Amino acid sequence: MRETAMSLNLYEALIMLDTSKVAGDLPAAQQQLHAIMERNKVEVLASRPWDERRLAYPVHGQKKALYYLIYFRSTGEPLVAIEHDMKLNESVLRVMFLRIESKLEETMLAIARDPHAMALQAVVDEPDDYMSGGGGGGRDRDRDRDRGPRRESAPAAAPAGAGAGEKQ
C-alpha cells in the first residue's frame, strides 16, 4: 500500500467534452468518465457538468464544448494514467488537472456539490462574440476609435547647450 505512505491531495479535473458526441446521452458520458477514475483507483468526491460554451478556437474541429468537473482525492501518481485514458475516449477533447490547496478544499467541494452554484463563472458574463475579434483585442481597438484621432506628444526638450546663439 503505497497510497498510505504518500499524502492524498484533492484534485479538480476540468474535462472538455465534444458536444456532438454527448448531446443526447450525458449520463453515458458521465459513466465513462467515472469508469476511468475508478479504474485508476481514485476517490471521486464530486462530479457535475459545469457549462457548455463556444470555444475561442476550434479544438479537434469542434467549436463548442461541454465543460465537466470532477473532484477527486488521490496521490499524484495516477494523473498520467488518467490523462492517457481520457485521451483514448472519443468524447473527451481536452483535460486539465489542478491540485486544490488544502485551505480551499471544503469551499471548493461545497460549491462543486451544489448543482445551482455558478463557481468559476464571472459575475458578469462576457458577450458571446467576445473572442470573435481575432486575437481578443477588439474591444480596446474599438475604444480607441471612439476617442478620435490621437494627438502627437510634445517634442522632447532640447539638450542643454544646444542653442549656440542663446543669451545667458
For the chain, the structural domain boundaries read 2-116
| pLDDT at site 160 | 53
21/73 Cα distance (integer angstroms): 28
Q: Return the DSSP state at 68.
A: E
DSSP 1: -
Alpha-carbon gap, residue 38 to 122, rounded angstroms: 32
Amino acid 138: pLDDT: 47
Q: What is the pLDDT of residues 49-64, one digit of tens each?
A: 988 999 999 999 999 9
Query: Which residue has cell 517634442?
Result: 155
Q: Does domain 2-116 have CATH number 3.40.640.10?
A: no
